[in-house]
Chains A and B, each alone.
Chain A
């Protein structure tokens, strides 16, 4: 199947700093990418939907200014956690689809573990 990568796989940062996480579709062009957050022992929570060349659509309760999403190309989306605080520590997962049809499979990245000290 298609491959989605994330970089870095884990990151530790100080409170107040910003962290950027990259999501790349390696062997297909992704018209749409999605960002999820997973807390320990909990479900994946959809944060936002990212379409190439347009603004991301955020789920209710997700702070747009806190979690900046940029989908600059058909193979790259980035999530920037701005002014990170310990409560932002989590596992962030992205996914990508080659098309928008229901039958188009959504491929998930391996995730990025963020720890904010």
Chain B
């Protein structure tokens, strides 16, 4: 069975500071990994995905994530936080790209 763990249900950063949201996965076989963002009253939006190509994945809005097999991690980063980045972020794992298993989410607050 596959699963993901997101460390830190709430993260606060100052505007312009580095954003780091942590995700560790568990899977018996190499998985596909995803990061989604959810703004209030909106559906989940795909930020980026790892599908066994490059280990460093670049996504939308300046976000990127690095797949580290040795650490079973897929942390999400952004060099400089914007106020508009405040949202809920979900990490997800899938073996097929169809059935997704999500982490518990991290709420990002950006302090002006």
A residues bordering B, Cβ < 8 Å? Answer: 1, 4, 32, 34, 36, 41-46, 49, 59, 93, 95, 97, 100-111
- Which of B42, B97, B99 has a CB less than 8 Å from the CB of A103? B97
- The distance in angstroms between the C-alpha atoms of A110 and B42, with both chains bound, is 5
Other-chain residue from A4, A59, A100, A110 in contact with B98 (beta carbon distance below 8 A): A100
Taking a contact as CB atoms under 8 Å apart, the answer to whether A43 and B99 are in contact is no
Number of A-B contacts (CB under 8 A): 59
Total interface residues on B, using CB and 8 Å? 21
The reply to whether B90 and A43 contact each other, CB–CB distance below 8 Å, is yes
- The 8 A CB mask of B31-51 against A (1 = contact, 0 = none) is 010001000011111100001
In the complex, the chain A residue whose C-beta lies closest to that of B3 is A43
**Interface of B with A (CB < 8 Å)?**
9, 32, 36, 41-46, 51, 90, 96-105
Residues of A within 8 A of B43 (CB): 4, 93, 107-111
**When the two chains form their complex, are residues B96 and A102 in contact, meaning their CB atoms are under 8 A apart?**
yes
A97 touches B98 (CB 8 A): yes
A103-B51, A107-B43 are known contacts. Are A32 and B98 too (CB-CB below 8 A)?
A: yes
